[in-house]
Amino acid sequence: MAKQTIVDELRECSRSFGAASAERKLALLAKLTRSERLTARELRVLHDTLQFIRAYPDDANVRRAALELATSFRARVGRLADGADTLALFDSGVPGSKIAHPFSYDVLLRMVELFPGCLEVDWQEFENEASLSDSLSVVLAPGEDQGLEDPSLGLEKWSARCKPDSARTSLEFLLALFERAGHAPRVRAQLWDACSVPVLYSLDAIGSGRIEVELPPRRIQFQGADLERERFPLAPEIRKALTVPPPLPRAAARRVLDVALAALCSRALEIYPLTFASDDDVRLVDCGRGIAIALVGVKPERRSALESLHFFLVLKNGAPIAYGPASVLFGCCEMGINLFPEFRGGEIRWIYAQFMRVLHHALGVEYFFLTKYGMGEDNDDAIASGAFWFYRKLGFVPTNAEVETLARSEEERMTREPGYRSDRRMLRRLSHTEAFLDLSNGKRAPLDLGALGVAQSRFIAAEFSGDRRRAETECLKRAARALGIRDLARWPADERRALSSLSPLLLLLPTLQLWNRNEKTTLVRAIRAKAARSKAGATRSFTTHPRFEGELRALSDV
């Protein structure tokens, strides 16, 4: 049997389960282990197949054989002599391959710690080196920038000559220059990110390849029967009792965050709430059936004035299989879950239900909604995956009445013509809507944060002639007086920041001065909780303050 046939056969049988399937997988894994050489195409297919098998193993023997075979990837990639073969593995996430992506400054700082020597400036793809030279001129010591003006060098040669021995790559050297320049963290990041520095990430270190990234589970859930496309109602599953543990200790939390970062970077991905995740606000929730969900809050200095922004990572038997952001306010959550391609299909409805269940029990979410982008508007990936129909089958309802009518017409056609599917043109028409799943019986609805932002800008323009610094100082003082805060000077910096970011909106509330003591005290407690180790308390406190919510809604409707 040809090697390619063995790989393809393993892929074809990977989603079948039972004693016979397990025996067949073991035989195929053994043959592949003995195979000396595999092509780049075979390695890509095998890599993705093994990822699925480690997440959904038939038994301990199958899992062990799959993981043992995975350890051979670096050697196999190293034996690829043909440059075209090596290129075929580009951006595959296979151990020993390479990825190109302009990772952001804060992501790079952590990645060069995790995988020293593996990230380098992709000089061949750097089209605008002048931008980096300009940024370097404000982080170098006086006189050093003259070296950048030597036309015979160029940045690549300059950095190679000037970097210390402690820096394995020019990228590590350049990042160290920015870090030690003395500028504020956001300024350093802005100086770097404005340059769009292309980065070449070599997955040479153990733990950097996709198949190697995992958070070892306490126990393995073996798959003894074929995966079923379950059709259970979501609401009862979301409401089902769930134990939400307290935040993890910092060391354990950092391990979870590093696994999440390695998982995303191995796919040339990054996401704001993970980039600025707080290692004081990481919960790992066991949902059963081998599914664990890490729910992560952002650092206090990166938290928004109102909504609670979170990152989540879904793990199946320790393997990362999905990720996304969740933004929560007043019991409503703007959500989006991105399932990695190798794991699509199967128990996806159950996975979504567990994610929503965690949000419901941990943060009090009762209303889940998706933006037009999430439904496919200006989002080719969502169109290609048929996002509209996926969410409709989950029970999400379009907010656009015309789209709802169009969807019903499509459903009638599907009934009349078995096998009919909406084409890309139709999916684009269906994408022009938000969608929601409401468990609150109409009590919850998203707040128009854009309208509130405009109201705040207009207030600063009218009251302070657009002077943001004066507005920040004055609004903080006025809001403190209006809420009866007398000890503001003794508040920790993060708590003062939380009040400061919200103070312009507070001053726009028409009856704030008339609130009773309990209403003010409750709001002050919620604002201070925004700076706590976990933001979950503030999220729930806002939800249980009907007057605050009501006046913000009235303000957003003006």
pLDDT digits (tens, 9 = 90+) for 255-299: 999 999 999 999 999 999 999 999 999 999 999 999 999 999 999
Three-state SS for 363? helix
Does the structure show a pLDDT above 90 at 87? no
d(CA 263, CA 320): 7
Q: Where are the domains of the chain?
A: 3-88, 98-202, 227-338+350-371, 372-433, 449-556
Give me the phi and psi of 427, to 5 degrees please: -60, -35
Three-state SS for 285? strand
Q: Which residue did the predictor score with more confidence, 154 or 198?
A: 198
Question: Burial of 65 by CB count in 10 Å (0-12 exposed, 13-18 middle, 19+ buried)?
Answer: buried
Does the structure show a pLDDT above 50 at 3? no
Q: Are 387 and 376 in contact (CB under 8 A)?
A: yes
Over range 531-542, report the average pLDDT: 83
Reading the block at residue 154, the tokens are: 């160029």
Percent of the chain residues topping a pLDDT of 70: 98
Please enumerate in sequence order all residues whose Cβ is within 8 A of that of 466, keeping only pairs 6 or more positions apart, or say none.
460
Please enumerate in sequence order all residues whose Cβ is within 8 A of that of 293, keeping only pairs 6 or more positions apart, or say none.
284, 285, 287, 312, 313, 314, 315, 354, 355, 358
Which pLDDT belongs to residue 182? 84
d(CA 209, CA 267): 9
Does the structure show a pLDDT above 80 at 147? no
Does the structure show a pLDDT above 70 at 132? yes
Q: Are 98 and 202 in contact (CB under 8 A)?
A: yes
Does the structure show a pLDDT above 50 at 502? yes
Cα radius of gyration (the chain): 26
Looking at this protein, which amino acid is placed at residue 521?
T
Which pLDDT belongs to residue 4? 54
pLDDT tens digits, 451-497? 999 999 999 999 999 999 999 999 999 999 999 999 999 999 999 99
d(CA 97, CA 90): 6
Reading the block at residue 63, the tokens are: 């899992």
Does the structure show a pLDDT above 60 at 117? yes
Looking at this protein, which amino acid is placed at residue 420?
Y
Q: Which stretches within 483-545 are classed as H helix?
A: 493-508, 517-529, 536-543
Which pLDDT belongs to residue 82? 65
Question: Burial of 462 by CB count in 10 Å (0-12 exposed, 13-18 middle, 19+ buried)?
Answer: exposed
Does the structure show a pLDDT above 60 at 337? yes
Q: Which residue did the predictor score with more confidence, 455 or 381?
A: 455
Find, among 461, 396, 455, 475, the residue nearest to 430 by Cα.
Answer: 396
Which pLDDT belongs to residue 88? 86
Does the structure show a pLDDT above 80 at 6? yes
Question: Burial of 556 by CB count in 10 Å (0-12 exposed, 13-18 middle, 19+ buried)?
Answer: middle
Which pLDDT belongs to residue 10? 95
Residue whose pair of structure tokens reads 């996806």 in the numeric block: 348
The DSSP secondary-structure symbol of 549 reads H
Per-residue CA distances from 325 to 95, 158, 252, 298, 494 (Å) = 27, 40, 21, 11, 23
pLDDT tens digits, 223-261? 988 887 778 889 999 999 999 999 999 999 999 999 999
What b/e sequence results for 212-226 when a residue is b if at least 16 CB atoms lie within 10 Å of its CB, and e otherwise? bbbbebeeeebbeee
Over range 44-61, report the average pLDDT: 95
Question: Burial of 547 by CB count in 10 Å (0-12 exposed, 13-18 middle, 19+ buried)?
Answer: middle
Does the structure show a pLDDT above 90 at 504? yes
Over range 1-14, report the average pLDDT: 79
d(CA 437, CA 368): 5
Which pLDDT belongs to residue 79? 83
Residue-averaged pLDDT of the chain: 91
Three-state SS for 438? strand
The DSSP secondary-structure symbol of 120 reads E
Give me the phi and psi of 54, to 5 degrees please: -70, -25
pLDDT tens digits, 354-363? 999 999 999 9
